[in-house]
Amino acid sequence: MQAELLAKIKESFPQAAEEAAKEGEYRDPAPVLTVPKESLAALCKLLRDDAALAFDYLMNLTAVDYKDRLVMVYQLYSMRLKHKITLKAALPTDGPAIDSVTSVWKGADWLEREVFDLFGVTFTGHPDPRRILLPEDWVGHPLRKNYTREPDRYD
């Protein structure tokens, strides 16, 4: 994606910081922007609605548990303009919560349910916040680093 588009994003969102791409790692890397979690929903709306950016496809929505923080990763693609971008937002490990982007991309619905199921991130404004992969009565969020489990009758 061109540098001037990145610059345009950064002037509307001055707290967005760009991570340096590791040289030679990917042939066509998507630029990575780290944003604070409060401005994420507004940034997503800008990315979808702006005509020069036009990110209409949320490819991936996931989270990574570093032991001291949880990082949400959003990977976006523009069908029309054919460019990509990755957004990262850091969350505290204690009671992580972030705004839901289902109002921006409908496909975020089940992706956010999966992140809630496996990481325990609460999405405010999500239309249907319940577990999707594990049984409803499961206790805990398995992909967290501090997850422990007692063996049950199936083990």
Partner 1 sequence: MDVRSGVVLDRLPLVVEKLPGGRLVTTTADFFIDWATESSVWPLTFGLACCAIEMMAAYASRFDFDRLGVIPRGTPRQADMIIVAGTVTKKMAPRIERLYHQMPDPKFVLSMGSCSNTGGPFYDSYSVVKGVDKVVPVDVYLPGCPPRPDALMYAVLKIQEKIKKMSIKDRLPQTQVAIEAMKQAGAV
User: Where does this chain bind partner 1 (CB under 8 A)?
Assistant: 133-135, 142, 147, 149, 152-155
Tell the smallest beta-carbon distance from residue 147 to partner 1 (Å).
8
Q: Specify the residue, 92 or 140, whose C-beta has the smaller distance to partner 1.
A: 140
Residue (of 16, 58, 61) closest to 37 by Cα position = 16
Q: Specify the residue, 112 or 117, whose C-beta has the smaller distance to partner 1.
A: 117
Q: Which residues contact 115 (CB under 8 A, 6 or more apart)?
A: 61, 62, 63, 72, 121, 123
Tell the smallest beta-carbon distance from residue 154 to partner 1 (Å).
4
Q: Alpha carbon of 89 to those of 82, 124, 138: distances in Å?
A: 23, 15, 27
Tell the smallest beta-carbon distance from residue 105 to partner 1 (Å).
27
Tell the smallest beta-carbon distance from residue 133 to partner 1 (Å).
8
DSSP secondary structure letters along 51-120: TTT---EEEEEEEEEETTEEEEEEEEE-TTT--EEEEEEEEESSS-EEE--TTT-TTHHHHHHHHHHHH-
- One-letter amino acid at 43 equals L
Q: Specify the residue, 24 or 135, whose C-beta has the smaller distance to partner 1.
A: 135
Tell the smallest beta-carbon distance from residue 123 to partner 1 (Å).
22
Q: Specify the residue, 82 or 130, whose C-beta has the smaller distance to partner 1.
A: 130
Q: Specify the residue, 97 or 133, whose C-beta has the smaller distance to partner 1.
A: 133
